Amino acid sequence: MVGDGHLQPDEGGFGRRLDEHEHAPEGRGPDEAPERPRGVVDSAVYARGYRYASPSTLADTYRCLQELTDAMAWIGLYRPDREQITSLAREFRLHDLAVEDAINAHQRPKLERYGETLFVVLRAARYDDVHEVVEFSEVHLFIGPGFVITVRHGEAPDLAAIRRRLEAEPQMLARGPQAVLYAILDQVVDGYAPVVAGLEHDIDEIETEVFGGDPNASRRIYELSREVIQFQRAARPLLGVLAALAAGSGKYSSDEELQRYLRDVTDHLTQVVERVDSFRHLLQNILAVNATLVSQQQNEEMRSLTAANYAQNEELKKVSSWAAILFAPTLIGTVYGMNFVHMPELHWRFGYLFAIGLMALVCGTLYLVFKRRGWL
């Protein structure tokens, strides 16, 4: 139970309970974060929307939570080991299947209810402007009466920023664990907007590359299509998670103000999913156009190659024709240059004229034959 002390915010905007004559621990100022075990990013106990305590160990968090009524523990973990998850599972009675999923990661977005405990898997996305790629990460949440456990497998979302924002709004944080869930959902969905803008910019670049004849356009289209499909797998199942939360809001008496936040998050996510669906169809069309352009380019190259081969064959015909024509007089001159004693026309007065006439006749005949066949 909370004692006679009172809650008041400290200079950093956090709330904590200060009893009379209470002092900060030795060696650490009131604003300094305690040294925590590996894997535990932050652990805090909240009462009436203010940070009541910041235990340094999970065991201290359990004890502090047991001493208070209407308090909430928010434990943030980053790639914890099995021992830490097992300790939390024993304390808050987490289901074995959900615990196993949180340890192994690589889950699709989903919501599962185990009694009074919700297990939610979200996939955050971040656009890397330098390398022009989309990076994905997972965050798992256990939401139950008086506790929130976040297990992050990646750099996004920035849960520390979400915690600071909620601590700056105690009236929102006082609404309990569901307020933390909706804040994280809102942060994840808001993080999709820069990814959508980055993908849209990449698609514009690809269109320019396709019509510019870039040979690497096909490969980039396939890579971007794979990113869009992964983004769809991250965003589209989240609509089912939000729908399940909205459907259970009446049964589990969710806060009306939180339901409004949930509907706003759903609207933003619907817009994101519709944009991503249009990206996928657009990339399919771009791929088809690129294949057509590549085919046309190949046909043009084949036509050019065929024309070049044809011209080369025509030149070869001309060369071969002239070679045959010139070969005829060479052959005749060679025969009459043998100088045999007994050889026809060797001592004939008109032998020379006969040989020249024969050369002219043969050359003329060959010329007419090749000309008629179109070789000359």
The CATH code of the domain that includes 337 is 1.20.58
> Can you give the pLDDT at residue 341?
67
Q: What is the token pair recorded at 318?
A: 């001309």
Average pLDDT, the chain: 79
- Residue 77 and residue 153 in contact, taking contact as beta carbons nearer than 8 Å: no
Number of domains within the chain: 1
From CA 337, how far away is CA 130, in angstroms rounded?
83
CB 45 within 8 A of CB 72: yes
Domain range holding 333?
311-372
* Domain presence at residue 332: yes
Section 266-290 average pLDDT: 87
First to last CA, the chain: 112
Q: What is the mean pLDDT of residues 312-326?
A: 78
Token couple for 180: 């933390």
| Omega cis (within 30) before 194 | no
Do 285 and 221 touch, CB atoms closer than 8 A?
no
Is 305 a member of any domain?
Answer: no
Which range has highest mean pLDDT (180-189, 207-216, 311-320)? 180-189
Which residue did the predictor score with more confidence, 211 or 16?
211
- Residue 331 inside a domain? The answer is yes
Which residue, chain included where needed, has tokens 């621990």?
Answer: 25
- The answer to whether residue 52 is domain-embedded is no
Using pLDDT thresholds of 50, 70 and 90, give the confidence band for residue 306.
Answer: confident
| Alpha-carbon span 54 to 180, nearest angstrom | 17
Choose between 348 and 342: higher pLDDT: 348
* Residue 145 domain flag: no
Q: Which amino acid is at 312?
A: Q
CA distance 320 to 324: 6
Provide the pLDDT confidence category of residue 85 given band limits of 50, 70 and 90: confident
Contact 97, 83 (CB under 8 A): no
Could you give the percent of the chain with pLDDT greater than 90?
17
Q: Residue 34: its pLDDT value, please?
A: 55
Inside any domain, residue 361: yes
* pLDDT of the residue at 8: 41
Structure tokens at 295: 């085919």
* pLDDT tens digit sequence for 94-141: 888 888 888 887 888 999 998 888 999 999 999 888 888 888 989 999
Q: Is residue 344 part of a domain?
A: yes
Asked which of 83-97, 184-198, 202-216 is least confident by mean pLDDT, the reply is 202-216
Amino acid at 331: L
Grade residue 219 by pLDDT with cuts at 50, 70 and 90: confident
E strand spans, 110-269: 110-114, 117-128, 133-144, 147-153
pLDDT of residue 284: 83
